[in-house]
Amino acid sequence: MVYKYLFGPVLSRRLGISLGLDLVPHKVCSLNCIYCEVGKTTLLTAERKEYVPVKHVIPELRDYLSQKPKLDYITFSGAGEPTLNSGIGEIISFLKTEFSEYKIALLTNGILFSSRRIRNEIIDVDLILPSLDAASEIVFQKINRPVEGVNVNDVIKGLVDLRKEFSGEIWLEIFLVPDINDTKQELTLLKSAVTRINPDKVQLNSLDRPGTEPWIESINREKIVQIAEFFKPLPVEIITQPKQKNKAENFNQNITEQILETIRRRPCTADDLEAILALNTIDLNRYLNILLEKGKIETIKQERGYFFRTT
């Protein structure tokens, strides 16, 4: 079976071996974050609908999971905001009924959690990883560039309510962009908002791939360590690259397509690709060279090295 909505499994920095599930096309989102690693939002919306039909997603999941792959999580993620798909509740319920041995993670911008109905739809997942990059309206608008009608106070209130109702773990991500949300004033507001939300973990992240806006830089290590100290005693951690390259099982036999599929979603270094696709350096380089020669991919230099992306 050719999978259209499943991707990976990938070796995720936060989730280990994770099977991705893409519930919206590239790139439907309620935010247009300046640092987004999957590109500019082309449909900025808060409208919910079956952007990807549930009746097509479920057979893919059934086919793939019936092979009993070793996974740490099945993760709603991909090229946009998964909670915008109005069928997400039905998919969660399918997974919990037919494949309850697998844990489900939801990567989300958290915008729609101001609605109780939407919180109820996703309440059965095991782990929620929402983002919150700002606590003042002005910085929220600058960094996340939301769809009209969304304000940061409602977002924070939605996360506070989610915490009260949801018994699984919440790992809240803060994406730091130098000179935008790393000022003393914004960090103080953020700390107060995070204290109210009371997540199980606060994860500090910064750019390690090319972002949507080319002028964005990664925060330096010293500064991010200081910010982590500032957030204490909250359970804060800095997200780092996985130390060990676990070998993820792959289901797609066509390696060229796997490489293209992976970097179409996010630019990756050769090291990333080796870890994600469980390829050795020699084989990977051979494929990358062919793709470069054919003009299907290109490289871009960033602080962490050369990244490959589709042309």
208 binds ligand SF4 (CB under 6 A): no
Rounded to a whole number of angstroms, the minimum distance from the CB of residue 104 to ligand SF4 is 18
Q: Does 109 bind ligand SF4 (CB under 6 A)?
A: yes
By C-alpha distance, which of 185, 143, 204 is closest to 14? 204
- Residues in contact with ligand SF4, total (CB under 6 A)? 10
- E strands, the chain, are 6-12, 16-22, 28-29, 43-44, 73-77, 104-108, 127-130, 169-175, 201-205, 236-238, 297-302, 305-310
Interface region with ligand SF4, contact rule CB under 6 A, candidates 24-32, 82-90, 156-164, 263-271: 24-32
Query: Interacting stretch for ligand SF4, rule CB under 6 A, among 12-20, 26-34, 87-95, 269-277?
Result: 26-34
Q: What is the Cα–Cα distance from 305 to 208, expressed in whole angstroms?
A: 9
| Between 17 and 33, CB nearer to ligand SF4 | 33
Residue placing its CB nearer to ligand SF4 in the complex, 119 or 266: 266
Determine if 80 is a binding residue for ligand SF4 (CB under 6 A): yes
Interface with ligand SF4 includes 38 (CB under 6 A)? yes
Nearby residues of 44 by Cβ (< 8 Å), 6 or more positions away: 29, 30, 31, 32, 145, 147
Stretch that binds ligand SF4, among 27-35, 147-155, 219-227, 287-295 (CB under 6 A): 27-35
DSSP string, 245-304: ----------HHHHHHHHHHHS-B-HHHHHHHHT--HHHHHHHHHHHHHTTSEEEEEETT
22 forms part of the interface with ligand SF4 (CB under 6 A)? no
81 binds ligand SF4 (CB under 6 A): yes
Binding site for ligand SF4 (CB under 6 A): 29, 31-33, 36, 38, 41, 80-81, 109
